[in-house]
Structures are given as structure tokens and as C-alpha cells.
């Protein structure tokens, strides 16, 4: 577990007690722990102790088998962000973005006996000049285990392959190097610094005060439906594994690993479906082919316009 060797450690700050307990695994009648473990390909973990080894195995399996995706948002029918809806999305063979993935995973972890907490957080995107603070554009999770508080986040797409302790230091996971440090913008909070090699986002700040799932996901409707939201404008599908990450942004497909970076354009609606199934393992049942083709066409047009604008800008700069 190369992601668990911190440098320059300090004693982690303990989270304050939650004002509301995490939603019970019995609050949703439909979800099944057995079905969830089967979705992760880890039926062998049924009845396993709620310890660090099991947590690491679950986290790895989740990011490898359940992709981060805004496809359902692009189709105009994002699932609700409550536990039942998020778990149902996972069990259908779909994924979701951070609210869905971490919301579903927290349900599973709670059902398996872990002390898990929700946290309001904020991701600093590649275009954000400064950290955004815990502005609610992200849901983060922590688990209290073996004397430490662990950052557990299957909703960061290109980032964590396994949990990391909230202990200041550097953590290597596959080809990527991450940083954990006290937040400079959230009092008492923590900062996750992403590896810029992953070509995704800069970092994430979280408020260490636990909150309910509902309190952590108050921006879901805005972020999943507003025309101004980047989640609405640009399709994103990402899948992490031990060696690197696959990323689909609009119609640009990229693989980043120890061998370097390879990218290509998804050229057709049929190619698009093949990538969603073959690269990201998505079950497209319930997603009509015509609707998927419309998503591809819209993203392809936006991508072509972006490339034309960039080429024009480069020509103008060359003449200056």
C-alpha cells in the first residue's frame, strides 16, 4: 500500500461530533449490501472485519468498478443525491459524480460497521486561481480507524485509489503524488493537493465538522441542472486503477499512467458507446441510443468550437 507512507507527520486533528448521525443502512429498503459487494466484484468481503485492510480493498474496488460520470446529468436525468437514489444508480451499473459516489459508498461503509462521516468540501478546478474553500461543490468522507482519521473519497475521479490518513505529508499512489496538509482557507479543515500530472483539478478543501448527507449536498440541484454548471456543460467520465486513470472530457479520451499520456478524439456516436462500455464499464441499459447519440453530437460540436477558438488564439499570438 504505497499510498500510506507519509512524510513529516503531525498528529491529526480529530473531527468534532456530528450534529446528526449518518443515515442508517436500514433507512432505504431497496439497497442490498450483498448486491453492492457483487457490483464491486468483492463478494468475498461479506462478513469481513471493518478494519483498514477491508476499507482499502473496498475503496480500490469502488474506483476501479464504479466510474465517476456526469453522463446522467448530460442526459438530463441526474439521480437525486439521497442514499437510496445513489445506491440504486451504482447497482444499475451506472456511476455518478461526487454526491452520488460518496453518498452511496458511505451507505455501504456504514452498513459494514465503519464510523463514517460526511463533510462539506470544495474542489479547486483547473481554472480556479485560488482554493474555493468548503463551498459545497464536493462531498468528502472520513472514517475513524486505527487511531487516525482517514480521507475516504471515491468521488474525486482521477484522484485517490485508496484512502489516506489526515496526517500532513506526501502520498504516492501509482504514478501520482498527493499532498495532505492543513487547509489555508477552511479553519480547522484539511487540504488534499492533487498531482497536476493527472490533468484534472488542483486540490480539495474540506471542513472537518461532520454534517448530514443532506447538508453536504445542498448544491446538487444547482450543479446538476444549471446551464452555467461545468457538470452540465462538459461531459466527464473518469475511472481510476492501480496504474493510472482513464478520462473522457467532452469527446477527448485520455489515458495517463506510468508509460505516459495517450489521447484521442471519440469520433462517432458508436465509438462513444463503445468507450463508455469498454473503457469505463458502464451499463447503458435504460439510456436510449438516440439520447446517447445526441449527447455525443452536442459534446463533439462544443469540442470542435473549443479547438477552433484555441487555434485562432494561437495564430493571433504567433503574429504578435
Cα 25 → chain centroid: 22
Per-residue pLDDT of the chain (320 residues; tens, 9 = 90+): 554 444 333 333 444 333 333 343 434 444 699 999 999 999 999 999 999 999 999 999 999 999 999 999 999 999 999 999 999 999 999 999 999 999 999 999 999 999 999 999 999 988 888 999 999 999 999 999 988 999 999 999 999 999 999 999 999 999 999 999 999 999 999 999 999 888 889 999 999 999 999 999 999 999 999 999 999 999 999 999 999 999 999 999 999 999 999 999 999 999 999 999 999 999 999 999 999 999 999 999 999 998 877 776 767 777 76
Total-model pTM: 0.87
> Which listed CATH number (3.30.2140.20, 2.40.50.70, 2.60.40.10, 3.40.50.80) goes with 2-224?
3.30.2140.20
What pLDDT is attached to residue 105? 98
| Interior angle at CA 154, CA 166 and CA 265, nearest 5 | 125
Report which of 67, 45, 46 is spatially closest to residue 56, judged by C-alpha positions: 45
Closest CA to 217 of 88, 106, 76: 106
The domain ranges of the chain are 2-224, 226-319
CB atoms within 10 A of CB 18: 15
Q: Which of 65, 48, 50, 53 is nearest to 280 (CA)?
A: 65
CATH of domain 226-319: 3.30.2140.10
Q: What is the pLDDT of residue 31?
A: 61
**DSSP label at 210?**
-
The whole-angstrom separation of Cα 126 and Cα 157 is: 14
Please, which residues bridge with residue 248 across strands? 237, 253
Angle separating helix axes 269-278 and 289-319, nearest 10 degrees: 100
Q: Are strands 236-240 and 244-249 parallel, antiparallel or unpaired?
A: antiparallel
The beta strand positions in the chain, using DSSP E, are 68-69, 116-125, 138-145, 148-152, 164-165, 169-173, 176-182, 190-193, 201-206, 236-240, 244-249, 252-257, 260-265
> Would you list the DSSP string of 23-49?
PPTTSSSS--HHHHHHHTT-GGGTT--
3-class SS at 174? coil
| Beta pairing, strands 164-165 & 169-173 | unpaired
Taking the C-alpha atoms of residue 88 and residue 95, their distance in angstroms, rounded to an integer, is 10
Contact 83, 27 (CB under 8 A): yes
The predicted structure's pLDDT at residue 2:
52
Tell me, yes or no, if the two domains 2-224 and 226-319 fold the same way.
yes
Amino acid at each position: 500500500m504505497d499510498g500510506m507512507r507519509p512524510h513529516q507527520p503531525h498528529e491529526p486533528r480529530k473531527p468534532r461530533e456530528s450534529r446528526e448521525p449518518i443515515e442508517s443502512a436500514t433507512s432505504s429498503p431497496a439497497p442490498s449490501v450483498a448486491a453492492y459487494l457483487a457490483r464491486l466484484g468483492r463478494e468475498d468481503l461479506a462478513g469481513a472485519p471493518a478494519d483498514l485492510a477491508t476499507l482499502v480493498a473496498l475503496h480500490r474496488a469502488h474506483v476501479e468498478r464504479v466510474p465517476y460520470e456526469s453522463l446522467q446529468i448530460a442526459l438530463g436525468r441526474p439521480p437525486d443525491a439521497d442514499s437510496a437514489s445513489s445506491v440504486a444508480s451504482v447497482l444499475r451499473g451506472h456511476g455518478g459524480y461526487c454526491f452520488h459516489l460518496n453518498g452511496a459508498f458511505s451507505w455501504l461503509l456504514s452498513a459494514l460497521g465503519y464510523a463514517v462521516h460526511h463533510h462539506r468540501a470544495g474542489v479547486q478546478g483547473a481554472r480556479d486561481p485560488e482554493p474555493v474553500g468548503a463551498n459545497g461543490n464536493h462531498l468528502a468522507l472520513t472514517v475513524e480507524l486505527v487511531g487516525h482519521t482517514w480521507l475516504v473519497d471515491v468521488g474525486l475521479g482521477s484522484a485517490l485509489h485508496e484512502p489516506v490518513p489526515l496526517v500532513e505529508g506526501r502520498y504516492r499512489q501509482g504514478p501520482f503524488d498527493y499532498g495532505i496538509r492543513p487547509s489555508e482557507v477552511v479553519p480547522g479543515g484539511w487540504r488534499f493537493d492533487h498531482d497536476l500530472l493527472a490533468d484534472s483539478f488542483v486540490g480539495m478543501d474540506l471542513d472537518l465538522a461532520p454534517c448530514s448527507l443532506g447538508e453536504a449536498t445542498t448544491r446538487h440541484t444547482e450543479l446538476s441542472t444549471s446551464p452555467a454548471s461545468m457538470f452540465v456543460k462538459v461531459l466527464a467520465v473518469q475511472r481510476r486503477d492501480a496504474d493510472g486513470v482513464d478520462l473522457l472530457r467532452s469527446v477527448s479520451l485520455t489515458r495517463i499512467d506510468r508509460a505516459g499520456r495517450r489521447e484521442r478524439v471519440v469520433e462517432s456516436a458508436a465509438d462513444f458507446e463503445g468507450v463508455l462500455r469498454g473503457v469505463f464499464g458502464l451499463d447503458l441499459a435504460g439510456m436510449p441510443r438516440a439520447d446517447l447519440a445526441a449527447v455525443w453530437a452536442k459534446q463533439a460540436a462544443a469540442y470542435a468550437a473549443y479547438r477552433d477558438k484555441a487555434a485562432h488564439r494561437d495564430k493571433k499570438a504567433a503574429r504578435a
